[in-house]
Amino acid sequence: MSSTSAAQKFDPARAEEYRTQSRIALAGYDACHELTACMLSASLGSSSNANILVVGAGGGAQEIAASSKLAPNWRFTAVDPSVSMMDITRAEADRQGFAGRTEFHLGYVDDLPADRRFSAATLIGVLHHQQGDEAKRQLLNSVASRLAPGAPLILAGNRYAYSSEPLLLAAWGERWRMQGATQEDVRAKLGKILDGADPPASEEAVADLLADAGFEPPTWFFSSLFWGACLAKRVG
């Protein structure tokens, strides 16, 4: 992720919780990551020698695991500031066999060389942890400046202000309850979510943020309650 406060959310206890809770919080977790790989492969070609920037790669880097199965020649630069979350990714990379194709960078996008260019990038589950539009723009600008013209970005995360969609919020609570959470647990989880994230207000707001950073209008390809995933190409 791209702010110190966001990194601090994922201390060792939170990182371990993430492994077990992410698939409950996001119905379709695996499908989103698999479709991310499919969209990148369709854009770049599975036989290309692409170098993919993976921002917020801590927690297992499912996007790398899925992409590595489709594209044997791709290489990946995994970026995350959380030691605990990156440790999970390193372990998964060893277990699933993509460690040899992955460069692990503990830190932020801005720490990478300014003149380095990537064939594509992913930003999954990160943008809604950036507080305020200015922080979101800064992160998207940092990613855009390291992409070649025409390179695709996969952007995925929560969109819509939580308070603006009470039905979706209630359904999210039911999703947790379906997995065995009590009503008290649900209230606590939703309270943490409402307090700890700042998603863009709408898909239009996402498109505006992307445009400000120099991307073309996005193509949306996945949706699950508040979560959405899209592909946008760097202008050029």
Helices (H) and strands (E) in the chain, counts: 9, 7
| Residue-level pLDDT at 142 | 98
- pLDDT tens digits, residue range 24-77? 889 999 999 999 999 999 999 999 999 999 999 999 999 999 999 999 999 999
Does CATH number 1.20.1260.10 belong to domain 4-162+200-233? Answer: no
| Residue-level pLDDT at 1 | 36
- pLDDT tens digits, residue range 161-213? 998 999 999 999 999 999 999 999 999 988 888 887 999 999 999 999 999 99
| Residue-level pLDDT at 102 | 97
| Backbone dihedral region for residue 61 (phi beyond 0: left; psi -120 to 50: alpha; all else: beta) | left
Contact 139, 127 (CB under 8 A): yes
- pLDDT tens digits, residue range 67-99? 999 999 999 999 999 999 999 999 999 999 999
Contact 88, 59 (CB under 8 A): yes
Domain boundaries along the sequence of the chain: 4-162+200-233
The residue written with tokens 């932020």 in the block is 108
Number of C-beta neighbours around residue 85 at 10 A: 27
| Residue-level pLDDT at 232 | 98
Which H or E run contains 80? strand 75-80
| Residue-level pLDDT at 4 | 45
- pLDDT tens digits, residue range 108-165? 999 999 999 999 999 999 999 999 999 999 999 999 999 999 999 999 999 999 989 9
| Residue-level pLDDT at 22 | 86
Residue of 108, 82, 71, 78 whose CA lies nearest to 92:
78
Return all residues near 142 (Cβ < 8 A) that are at least 6 apart: 2, 108, 109, 110
Residue of 53, 86, 81, 56 whose CA lies nearest to 67:
53
Residues in the chain: 236
| Residue-level pLDDT at 12 | 54
Q: In what order do the strands lie in the sheet with 219-224?
A: 102-106, 75-80, 51-55, 120-124, 152-158, 227-233, 219-224
